[in-house]
């Protein structure tokens, strides 16, 4: 089914189910949803954990077509969500979906996450974005170079940046081995048989 771009549709109707939400995107992106875009139930719970106060700034590291940021900004309208994504075409789909939904507390940047200043954010979300670099990964496309050394480079880079954040910083990971979480973070809760992990930095 083609993407629905009807702005007169009531906002709540998009969030009735994952199937409804995914209709924001063209068929090629809908086909990637099961494997690559976070389910709404996970987003709702993660967003609630991450939005610790009004105006919390939350970054999705590897935001794809924007499903996490768009849905989280709907569930937590008083927090600010940003997505960074290395594939320009996916950012284009995210921006188009934001326009259809009319959400204002969400933004997207087309970049490698290593180009961002982490101090501009309070908390983070991470859906195992670097996994595509490993040999047996189910990949989005062939538009970029993959390598296991990139997996390690990105995981180490992210671990270092998270380590510099102040105590109280939160990160939710989904389907991750937590290679990127420094020992200064405490795993405070898990859900979905350990697929969903809630971490808080407990010391500087
Ligand atoms: C599994 S998808 C998750 C998408 C989104 N966070 C969600 O939960 O719906 C991971 C995304 O991370 C992006 N990604 C991987 N490495 C990245 C990097 N170094 N910088 C920016 N984006 C990256 C991929 O292009 C992909 O779109």
Q: Residue 175 CA: which ligand 1 atom is closest?
A: 1
Q: Is the CB of 66 under 6 A from ligand 1?
A: no
Q: What is the pLDDT of residue 12?
A: 96
Question: Across all residues in the chain, what is the average pLDDT?
Answer: 95
Write out the chain in H/E/C secondary structure: CCCCCCCCCCHHHHCCCHHHHHCCCCHHHHCCHHHHCCCHHHHHHHHHHHCCCCCCEEEEECCCCCHHHHHHHHHCCCCEEEEEECCHHHHHHHHHHHHHHCCCCEEEEECCHHHCCHHHCCEEEECCHHHHHCCCCCCCCCCCCCCHHHHHHHHHHHHHHHHCCCCCCEEEEECCCCCCCCCCEEEEEEEHHHCEEEEEECCC
Q: How confident is the model at residue 135 (pLDDT cuts 50, 70, 90)?
A: confident
Overall fold of domain 38-201: Rossmann fold (3.40.50)
Nearest CA to ligand 1 atom 1: 36
pLDDT tens per residue, range 173-182: 999 999 999 9
pLDDT tens per residue, range 43-71: 999 999 999 999 999 999 999 999 999 99
Q: Is the CB of 176 under 6 A from ligand 1?
A: no
What percent of the chain is modeled with pLDDT above 70?
Answer: 100
Domain ranges for the chain:
38-201
Q: What is the pLDDT of residue 30?
A: 97
For residue 124, pLDDT over 90 is answered with yes
């Amino acid at each position: 089914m083609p993407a629905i771009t009807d702005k007169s549709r009531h906002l709540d109707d998009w969030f009735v189910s994952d199937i409804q939400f995914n209709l924001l995107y063209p068929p090629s992106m809908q086909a990637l949803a099961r494997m690559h875009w976070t389910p709404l139930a996970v987003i709702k719970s993660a967003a609630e954990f991450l939005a610790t106060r009004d105006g919390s700034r939350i970054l999705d590291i590897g935001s794809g077509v924007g499903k996490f940021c768009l849905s989280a900004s709907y569930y937590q309208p008083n927090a600010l969500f940003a997505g960074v994504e290395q594939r320009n075409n996916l950012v284009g789909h995210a921006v188009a979906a934001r326009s259809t939904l009319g959400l204002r507390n969400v933004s997207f940047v087309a970049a490698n996450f290593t180009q961002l200043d982490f101090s501009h954010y309070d908390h983070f979300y991470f859906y195992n974005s670097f996994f595509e670099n490993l040999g047996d990964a189910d990949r989005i496309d062939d538009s970029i170079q993959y390598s296991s050394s990139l997996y390690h480079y990105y995981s180490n880079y992210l671990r270092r940046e998270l380590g510099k954040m102040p105590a109280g910083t939160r990160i939710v990971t989904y389907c991750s081995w937590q290679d990127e979480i420094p020992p200064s973070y405490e795993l405070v809760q898990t859900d979905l048989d350990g697929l969903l992990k809630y971490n808080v930095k407990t010391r500087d």
